[in-house]
Amino acid sequence: MKIWTEFRDRIFKSDVYVLGNKIFTEKDFHDYLNEAEQVLSKFIKGYSLYVIVDLEIDRPTKVQQRKTIWASIEEDLERFIDSKGESHSTLINDTLYLRGVFTFEDFSLMDQLDFIFSDVHTYTLLFSRDPLHKVDTDLKRQMSCLKDCCGKKLPSGDELTLTAITYEDEYDLKLTFGHNVQVEVDSLIRQTDSEQIFNILLRSDLYQAGDAISVNMIKGIDSINNFLFLREEERYMYVVDMASEDYECYRLEKEHIFDEWEFVGSLNEFIKKQN
């Protein structure tokens, strides 16, 4: 199992990822959630936690259009809900969009991370300093603007959203926030694996992370997403494993990528050898 963290800066928003791959067992998944909780809990101190529910129904019947979002989700969920907002809906081009917000009763952060993985397309976690009624009012405003925004959610100011992504043996959590929040959590961002590697390389003469590589090479290497490219030569390529404790570096032959990779030391050791 591999677990690592990345920071990705965008124009209006930024993301911190807690990524995991080769997660095959319940224990692997539990260990991943435990580590994710430790990372994310530092970012959300002072925030209240809400669950956002999003549903889309294509060509809804009249009965479906009259249903609230709370009547559309699983009945078993109702007994765990502590408080909830209203059901908000709008019909756009024969698609019914429904949104709502609720809080769990006595659920830890780890429990809620586990929950959103149960349906990654329906549930999102929202971290806000506002009370439930204010969050619910904002949802109502967003729903009224959906047509003008072409179906996109409006950006929020001081909030953070957490979405879950899963594919086969890969599990990812993406924490998204605006640049005003980024200033508050800058010290935590610098602790992510990708930023630590970036800063190590920045201090050296080998700042070449992210060198271009052919698509065929990427497709040929299993679980390539936990590796950053350090340098590409005519015959060899050097990569660093973000999910390893000391950021292990490897050399591989470009024409024999399925052969065993040669370990060339930790990132710091690799840099010293190159210098």
Q: What is the pLDDT of residue 275?
A: 67
Answer whether residue 140 shows pLDDT above 60.
yes
- The CA distance from 134 to 159, in Å, is 12
**Burial group, residue 144, by CB count within 10 angstroms (0-12, 13-18, 19+):** exposed
**Burial group, residue 237, by CB count within 10 angstroms (0-12, 13-18, 19+):** buried
Paired with 16 in beta bridges are 7, 175
Answer whether residue 84 shows pLDDT above 80.
yes
The predicted model gives 92-118 an average pLDDT of 94
Contact 158, 179 (CB under 8 A): no
Q: What is the pLDDT of residue 224?
A: 63
Contact 239, 249 (CB under 8 A): yes
- The CA distance from 179 to 25, in Å, is 37
Three-state DSSP at 18 gives: strand
Whole-angstrom Cα Rg for the chain = 22
The region of weakest confidence among 33-37, 104-108, 126-130, 209-213 is 209-213
Three-state DSSP at 201 gives: helix
Q: What is the pLDDT of residue 145?
A: 77
Three-state DSSP at 95 gives: strand
Name the pLDDT band for 264 (thresholds 50, 70, 90): very high
Per-residue pLDDT reduced to its tens digit, 53-83: 999 999 999 998 888 999 888 777 888 999 9
Three-state DSSP at 234 gives: coil
Sign of CA dihedral 26, 8, 275, 211: positive
Q: What's the predicted TM-score (pTM) here?
A: 0.88
Answer whether residue 155 shows pLDDT above 50.
no
At residue 86, what are phi and psi to the nearest 5 degrees? -80, 170
- Which 8-state DSSP code applies to residue 10? -
Q: 242: which residues sit within 8 A by CB, 6+ positions away?
A: 4, 6, 193, 194, 197, 226, 227, 228
The predicted model gives 171-191 an average pLDDT of 94
Q: What is the pLDDT of residue 136?
A: 95
Q: What is the pLDDT of residue 149?
A: 58
Q: What is the pLDDT of residue 218?
A: 41
